[in-house]
Amino acid sequence: MTQPEPAIRDALLAAVPSLRAFAISLCGQVDRADDLVQDTLLRALSHIDRFERGTNLNAWLFTILRNLFHSEYRKRRREVEDPDGSYAGRLRVQPEQGSRLDFEDFRAALAKLPPDQREALLLVGASGFSYEEAANICGCAVGTIKSRVNRARSRLAALLAVEGVEDLGPDQMTRAALQATG
Amino acid sequence: MISDRRKGAAKLMPKADLSDDLSDRGGAEPTLDRAIQDRIGTHLRAMYDDLVNQPVPDRFAELLGRLDRGEKEGRR
């Protein structure tokens, strides 16, 4: 492996918090997420010559992480593929370090989304990527990303309303819908 | 049953985002009201920012530092 230039190393290190947040949200397990981030950094360093200078380093790193996650996902399908079982359970016990706000209901709802929708929503709605960047990261059409994000939001709204998250409860939802349309 | 609210929501739905790839959505999911989208967005980002702001384990700095050995030290 080539030794990283200090600038590259600093940029990689700076990307770690975002990569971790994405990885934790994707796989629901801090330990696994950290392994995923570490593998991403190693992969990035060993393929750094493929990174086009001047393009978005974070988008490139997210692409690597996402691809690693999916190849691992396929390997571990049996363990991982239970949309409303263990993923949600693992996600629930996840943040140890003084998470001040209570996001448990939201995390549980997020865990119930199909992986492709969860991923699209995280990229666009949380990580701040454009639809185009998210499409590149996921290797699909922009329209597909938009559709997945829309469906993810609809599904979340329904799940959260059903589960009665305080500020997303059914009453507020209905009121918000009524107000917004006059 | 969520169908009542869904139906109600569907009736109230503005047409804003209907240009987005209808084929994939198949018309099954109504486009969400903007206010609800905003609430979900705010909540999602708050949850995500909470993760982004969590302390990062030392292993990453150590890993990159280890790979950096041999080059000049001291820059961070």
Identity of the residue in B2, B40, B50 whose CB atom sits nearest the CB atom of A101: B50
d(CA B28, CA B30): 6
CB within 8 Å: B63 and A153: no
Specify the higher pLDDT residue, A85 or B65. Answer: B65
The domain of A170 spans 102-182
CATH code: domain of residue A41: 1.10.1740.10
Residue B20: count of CB within 10 angstroms of its CB: 17
What mean pLDDT comes out for the span A14-41?
A: 93
CB A122 within 8 A of CB A26: yes
* A147 close contact with B: CB closer than 8 A: yes
Model pLDDT for residues A102-113, shown as the tens digit of each residue: 677 888 889 899
Identity of the residue in A97, A125, A143 whose CB atom sits nearest the CB atom of B44: A125
Pair (A74, A132) in one structural domain? no
Summary mean pLDDT of chain A = 80
d(CA A131, CA A120): 9
Q: Identify whether A49 is part of a domain.
A: yes
Q: Identify whether A86 is part of a domain.
A: no
CB within 8 Å: B5 and A147: no
Least confident of A136-140, A151-155, B3-7: B3-7
Name the pTM for this structure: 0.69
pLDDT at residue number A92: 44
Report the chain A residue with the minimal C-alpha distance to residue B21.
A143
pLDDT at residue number A103: 77
Identity of the residue in B29, B39, B44 whose CB atom sits nearest the CB atom of A167: B39
pLDDT at residue number A133: 97
* A132 close contact with B: CB closer than 8 A: no
CB A36 within 8 A of CB A22: no
pLDDT at residue number A72: 81
Residue to test with chain A: of B52, B62, B71, B76, most A Cβ within 10 A: B52
* A48 close contact with B: CB closer than 8 A: no
Q: How confident is the model at residue A118 (pLDDT cuts 50, 70, 90)?
A: very high
Pair (A43, A119) in one structural domain? no
* Min Cα–Cα distance to chain A from B34, Å: 8
Model pLDDT for residues B12-35, shown as the tens digit of each residue: 444 444 444 444 444 445 566 788
Interacting residues of B22 by C-beta distance below 8 A, sequence separation 6+: none
Pair (A120, A172) in one structural domain? yes
Interacting residues of A126 by C-beta distance below 8 A, sequence separation 6+: A21, A25, B44, B45, B47, B48
Q: Which residues of A touch B54 (CB under 8 A)?
A: 17, 20-21, 95, 97
User: How many structural domains comprise chain A?
Assistant: 2
* A159 close contact with B: CB closer than 8 A: no
3-state helix, strand, coil in chain B (%, to 5): 55, 5, 40
Model pLDDT for residues B27-61, shown as the tens digit of each residue: 445 566 788 888 888 989 999 999 999 999 999 99
Query: Is the model's pLDDT at A154 over the cut of 70?
Result: yes
* Domain range summary for chain B, segments of one domain joined by +: 3-68
Residues in A 85-114 with any Cβ partner in B closer than 8 A: 95, 97, 99-101, 103, 106-107, 110
* Min Cα–Cα distance to chain B from A110, Å: 9
In which region does residue B70 sit, left (phi positive, over 0), alpha (psi from -120 to 50) or beta (all else)? Answer: left
Ranked by mean pLDDT, the top range of A69-73, A134-138, A173-177, B16-20 is A134-138
Pair (A116, A77) in one structural domain? no
Pair (A64, A114) in one structural domain? no
